[in-house]
Structure 1
Amino acid sequence: MPFTVHGLPVSQGIAIGHVHLISHALLEVNHYHVAPRHIEDELARLDEAVATVQGELVGLKAVTTSGQAHSEVGAFVDLQLMMLADPMLVDAARQLVESRRCNAEWALVQQMEHLVEQFRQIEDPYLRERQADVVQVIERLVKVLLGHPGHLPPKRRDGLGTIVVAHDLSPADTIGFRDHNIAGFVTDVGGPTSHTAIVARSLKIPAVVGLHHVRDLLEDDELVIVDGTRGVIIVAPGDEIIEEYRLRRSELEIERSKLNRLRDTRATTLDGESINLMANIEGPKDLPAVKSANADGIGLYRTEFLFIGRDNLPDEDEQYEAYRAVVKAMPSKPVTIRTFDVGNDKALNGVHSRMEPNPALGLRAVRYSLSEPKMFLTQLRALLRASAHGKLQIMVPMLAHAQEIDQCLALIEKAKAELRAEKLKFDEGVQIGGMIEVPAAALSLGMFIRRLAFLSIGTNDLIQYTLAIDRSDEAVVHLYDPLHPAVLKLIAGTIATGARYGLPVSVCGEMAGDLAYTELLLGMGLRNFSMHPGNILEIKQQILRADLGELAPKVQRILKMDEPARIREAVERLVA
């Protein structure tokens, strides 16, 4: 009898196929003592497993550089290779084997739990979910040690694909699946910024995550439907349900193919208003996706990915090359690069850190940068040097106080003076902007307008700080609401104030790339959107159908509402 399971929709589309359960090797690890005379053999077994996994990852890296996999996947493989080489992982496990005379699998799991606990202290949802890298690297090692890597079945003769069902999936796993007819991904854990979600979206494979114990509900080879748009898994569907979803899938595929025709079409509303659609990226490897969507520029370059997971911090020249590569690849288009958004809660190797009782409200983002002026000055010099090659803009995260802006501007002037003295080229008129991510900033925009050239609203953090909600905490995630009246007033007020004073305002959080909010943001007066490059064409299509003359008064009425249910109904009518 058919039944449904509900989770988080993270990659749109519909998949119909047979279940393939991926074993969760970490649940199969036993603890046993190793006799002293066998300790060296156990260490050799661990070393051999490390070498095997390194070889696998290097091979997968070769696939990404050959263009057979998405660039984001290659970045994750790089990160896992670095983790595998980190002394905190394997060397610490070796010490446990020697000191406790235990088996290698158990030692790895113990060290994994220690590191995961450290990651759980990180406030930023994206970076906190990088604990998955630690778990996935350990699981690969454990699978090798246990002798069952777990291969996928061959392609089926009935034409249906394979629905991979796992506790979690690594990007490396997804590359290994490339030669199989993978139709969809389903996992027990994960969220919108988990590996599975990011990779599934980049590969355009339907995925539903956060299903808790879905592996316990399904059997190998069972027929299921994955609705990655609604976050629904239908188990053992009947013929009528299968036919209905096949029809829906065909309609979605037709719509997706039509979107490609919009690549070179300017995003303009029905009443002639031009809208800028820019891309969010983590580094130069994301440029092919940006080019594919023909983005109007880079609205957010997250530079912290140059810093995290390294023994040695990138020097000025390395940063300069990474920034220059992106700027040169976007001739005549703006590239907005955010100074690193890290903190003591994100444990940069080689930098002094201390434990904080509440990292979310502690030394992070611009506060951290100003507390490490030497490191910050190095980044500013690299950014300024890269500005000589195109339209680079510098953006500072999590501003809340006037003195923070003044200190940043003073450091930028210091960096400029040093570069002039060294006769190094840079753009003297490089624009400096700030991110509006806390309510204090949104409610005191005057001090920003007097000092900065542009603003960008980071809706992810703004919503979390306004509502005191951690959107990755399953216990309270149901309270995370982009349509809360307080959130809408802060966003609309920022956009309106920017327009009044002629200061460009963009939105670079997830709301910008969500079709459910496109008309709402347009009606608020937003003209600059920045999002994952894979969302640009869908948002463009929505903009081409929008009439601002009709939207603006409707949105103004919505902003006067204070009942969440009424607001949600009104926003849904905007889309309809």
Structure 2
Amino acid sequence: MSIQVFGLPVSRGVAIGRAVLVASSRVDVAHYFIDAAETDAEIRRLREARDTVAAELEALQRDLPADAPSELSALLDVHLMLLHDDMLATATKQWIVGRRYNAEWALSAQLEVLARQFDEMEDEYLRERKADLEQVVEQMLRAMARRGAAGGPLAHQLLPGGRDGAGEDALVLVANDISPADMMQFKRSVFAGFVTDVGGKTSHTAIVARSLDIPAVVGAREASRIIRQDDWVVIDGDCGVVIVNPSPIVLEEYRFRQRQSELERVRLARLRHTPAVTLDGEPVELLANIELPSDAPAALEAGAVGVGLFRSEFLFMNRNGALPDEEEQVAAYTQAAQAMNGLPVTIRTVDIGADKPLERMTVNDLRHEHALNPALGLRAIRWSLAEPAMFRRQLRAILRASVHGRVRILIPMVAQLREIRQTLEAIERARAQLAEAGQATGDVQVGAMIEVPAAVLILPTILRHFDFVSIGTNDLIQYTLAVDRSDEAVAHCYDPWHPAVLQMLSTTIGMARAAGKEVCVCGEMAGDPAFTELLLGMGLRSFSMHPARIPLIKQRILRADTRKLAARLPAILAHEEPEQEARRLLQL
């Protein structure tokens, strides 16, 4: 039977494939693909975990006191029976061999299948055995965790659209939630799209989905409970609809839409070498947002004239709390600078906190966990200033890499003069240390991210201290409207068209231009064609976005006349419903 699940569209396009469920577990489960040569090793790890748990259960049985209830011994017998049952052991091996899942993922996937079967049993006693199965699987997962993984995450080594020999059906990822760090493991991997139960349009999970340029729907509530392993799934990233086991007619309709999207993508790609100049002769700078140095070639391929935002925090994630040292960071920043062939690369200092926590966050060597309100807590520049040793390493690394290209530093979440002074002093100290050590550095400009209303209100002060500003619209909207952008329950309140948001954007762009300082928008609005004409009318001439969005935005720019747009701007900003007025005046 076909089922429709509704959520929030966060990354456009259509994905069709078999469902891969990442089940929630009380034990952290690593999810990664393995090479064909590693299947025997993973099966051996599975067998060793089973044998370890079996030995523990048998030892418990032997050591039961004489007066122990007979039910306790019977329960251990049930666990041993489940442990050796073919439904668990043999079927789990099939996930390893057929799908190339690592052992932990294969085991949790098979648990999901069996749990559903138990739920459908009419006999109450048998239904209750699901809890026993979950306990057995949890023991096996813990046993594997104690031994450690045989290999490591290999998702990043797989090519887009390929299954690396593991089959031909496309795969779509279904989960309760996927952290940005976990999403990075799936970068350039086999997944054609993904669906999550939670999340908002500008949560970092959604942003990374767009950076992968794959269709995605978030906030789909019970999707991970409704969809089963290997179900056929259609993800409509334009409408926010997930269709489970579609009928042949519906499936063919979506396959046609896929083909049309691909033709449009090919057509837009022809604009790669066309300069981004408006009809009235205004040149516009189209930059790329990247997460890792390896993303730089894709930026060039898309026609970017530089990197407007290098999110350096992704170098700090998926490391079990071990922060990158100075040399590792120098290598990463140098790689990005050299890959851009002399074009500018703006590196944002680590923006950790809120929905991008590290596995281990410290303050003066003390662990910092469980903030009451992470979005308002120790994040971005606040965390960097609270960890001077970490911050010094990053600043030194960026300054050292600057001799290999046009590197700029961007400071996130600037809000107070005290922070500005401390940050600039830290940069100068790092530069002095390098000079004393005989290390060369380039001429590095320093910019501030405008992400909180306070920054807009003290913008004259910020412009006096920094060389340029970059507007992070995602957080600016969140903090202006007091809306958690990761929470689907208030997603309807997150409104980039809100009059207060547009006034802040217009004010920031106008004041920066009047001061002769460069201003760029690097948030999601920069890559949204619905806002291109509006931002051009405000005077913006520098947009930074995911590389995949550049051709579409360039097309809008080539058709725009900034003089006409600027003349219509006051009416839009003065209207109590600016979106409606913009659609009328700009014909969006």
With normalisation by structure 2, the TM-score equals 0.70
Query: Does the 8 Å CA contact 2:202/2:485 hold for their aligned counterparts?
Result: no
Letter in 2 for 1:301: F
Matched with 1:301 is 310
Select which of 53, 59, 62 maps to 1:37.
Answer: 59
Q: Helix, strand or coil for the counterpart of 1:412? A: helix
**1:571 corresponds to 2:587:** no
* 2:138 alignment partner, one of 106, 109, 113: 106
Assess, with a 3 A threshold, how the Cα gap between structure 1 residues 523 and 152 changes in structure 2: closer, same or farther: same
Report the 3-state secondary structure (helix = DSSP H, G, I; strand = E; otherwise coil) of the residue aligned with 2:409.
Answer: strand
Q: Residue 265 of structure 1: CA displacement? A: 1.1
Q: Please say if residues 515 and 542 of structure 1, whose CA atoms lie closer than 8 Å, have aligned partners that are also in contact.
A: yes
The two structures, once aligned, show a CA RMSD in angstroms of 4.6
AA aligned to 1:211 is A
**Contact between 1:14 and 1:225, CA under 8 Å: does it hold in 2?**
yes
Asked if structure 2 preserves the Cα contact closer than 8 Å seen for 1:281 and 1:302, the reply is yes
The match for 1:316 is 326
Cα deviation for residue 308 of structure 1 reads: 3.2
User: How far off is 1:364 after superposition?
Assistant: 2.1
Distance in 1 (alpha carbons) for counterparts of 2:434 and 2:185: 45
1:439 matched to 2:453? The reply is yes
Between 252-261 and 201-210, the greater mean CA deviation after superposition: 201-210
Give me the whole-angstrom Cα distance separating, in 1, the residues matched to 2:515 and 2:405: 26
Structure 2 residue runs of 5 or longer lacking an equivalent are 28-52, 63-75, 84-88, 106-133, 144-151, 156-164
Q: CA deviation at 1:479?
A: 0.6
Structure 1 counterpart of 2:339: 329
Whole-Å separation in 2 of the counterparts to 1:219 and 1:107? 24
Pair 238,226 (structure 1): closer, same or farther in 2 beyond 3 Å: same
SS of aligned partner of 1:520: helix
Partner residue of 1:341? 351
Instruction: Give yes or no for contact 1:171–1:195 (8 Å, CA) kept in 2.
Output: no
Query: Is the counterpart of residue 275 in structure 1 residue 289 in structure 2?
Result: no
1:396-415 matched pairs, under 5 angstroms: 396-415=411-430
Q: Which residue of 1 aligns with 2:237?
A: 228
Which residue number in structure 1 is paired with residue 86 of structure 2? none
Structural mapping, 1:374-523, within 5 Å: 374-427=389-442, 429-523=443-537
**Alignment of structure 1 residues 115-194 onto 2, 5 Å:** 178=190, 185-192=194-201
Q: 1:401 to 1:13 in 2, by over 3 A?
A: same
Per the TM alignment, residue 185 of structure 1 is displaced from its structure 2 partner at its CA by 4.4
CA offsets 1:492-544 (integer angstroms, 9 cap, x no match): 10000001111101111111111221111111111111111111111111111
The residue number in structure 2 matching 1:359 is 374
Q: How many residues align?
A: 483
AA matched with 2:279: L
What is the one-letter code of the residue matched to 2:343?
A: K
Q: Distance in 2 between matches of 1:532 and 1:463?
A: 19
Bigger mean CA deviation after superposition, 214-223 or 275-284:
214-223
Note closer, same or farther for the CA distance 1:201–1:440 as it changes in structure 2 (3 Å cut). closer
2:478 counterpart SS class: helix
Decide whether aligned partners of structure 1 residues 39 and 106 sit closer, same or farther in structure 2, where only a CA change above 3 A counts: farther
Amino acid at match of 2:579: R
What is the CA-CA distance between 1:258 and the residue it aligns to?
A: 0.5
Alignment-derived partner of residue 547 in structure 2: 533
- Larger gyration radius, structure 1 or structure 2: 2
Secondary structure, counterpart of 2:407 in structure 1: strand
Distance 1:265 1:195 in 2: 31
Shift of 1:278: 0.8
Q: 1:183 to 1:413 in 2, by over 3 A?
A: closer
SS at match of 2:336: helix
Q: Find the counterpart in structure 2 of residue 284 from structure 1.
A: 293
Give 2:545's aligned amino acid. M
Indicate how the Cα distance of structure 1 residues 385 and 177 shifts in structure 2: closer, same or farther if over 3 A, else same: closer
Change (3 A) 1:529 1:374: same
Give the Cα separation in 2 of the matches to 1:265 and 1:335.
21
Secondary structure (helix, strand or coil) at the match of 1:537 reads helix
Distance in 1, Cα, partners of 2:187 & 2:415: 42
SS in 2 for 1:450: helix
For residues 391 and 176 of structure 1, the distance between their equivalents in structure 2, rounded to whole angstroms, comes to 27
SS in 2 for 1:378: helix
Measured in 2, the distance between the counterparts of 1:418 and 1:204 equals 41
Check the 8 A contact 2:18/2:233 in 1, yes or no.
no
Distance 1:472 1:109, change over 3 A: farther
In structure 1, what is the Cα distance between the partners aligned to 2:466 and 2:353? 23
Q: What is the identity percentage for the equivalent residue pairs of Structure 1 and Structure 2?
A: 49
Q: 1:396 to 1:60 in 2, by over 3 A?
A: farther
> Cα 1:252–1:426, aligned 2, differ >3 Å: closer, same or farther?
same
CA offset at residue 440 of structure 1?
0.5
Matches of 2:352 and 2:138, distance apart in 1: 32
1:172 & 1:278 partners in 2: Cα distance? Answer: 21
The 8 Å contact of residues 4 and 241 in structure 2, kept in 1 or not, is answered as yes
Closer/same/farther in 2, CA of residues 453 and 197 from structure 1, 3 Å limit? closer
Structure 1 residues 445 and 221: CA distance shift in structure 2, 3 A: closer
Contact 2:203 2:485 in 1 (8 A): no
The 2-side partners of 1:185 and 1:304 are apart by: 23
Distance in 2 separating the partners of 1:37 and 1:244:
59
Distance 1:28 1:459, change over 3 A: closer
Q: How much has 1:422 moved relative to structure 2? A: 1.6
Shift of the alpha carbon at 1:277? 0.9
